[in-house]
Amino acid sequence: MAAGSSECGLDVALAVVGGKWKPLVLYHLQNGPRRFGDLKRLVEGISEKVLIQQLRDLEGAGVLVRRDYREVPPRVDYTITPFGLTLVAALMSLCDWGTRHRAAVESRLAAASAPAA
Concatenating the DSSP letter of every residue in 71-105 gives: -SS--EEEEE-HHHHHHHHHHHHHHHHHHHHHHHH
Which tens digit of pLDDT belongs to each residue from 64-95?
999 999 999 889 999 999 999 999 999 999 99
Confidence band (pLDDT; 50, 70, 90) for 102?
very high
Which tens digit of pLDDT belongs to each residue from 13-60?
999 999 899 999 999 999 999 999 999 999 999 999 999 999 999 999
The predicted pLDDT at position 7 comes to 83
CA distance 84 to 89: 9
E-strand stretches of 30-75: 34-35, 64-68
Cβ burial, residue 58 (10 Å; 0-12/13-18/19+): buried
Q: How many Cα neighbours within 13 Å face the side chain of 6?
A: 8
Please tell me the pTM assigned to this model: 0.84
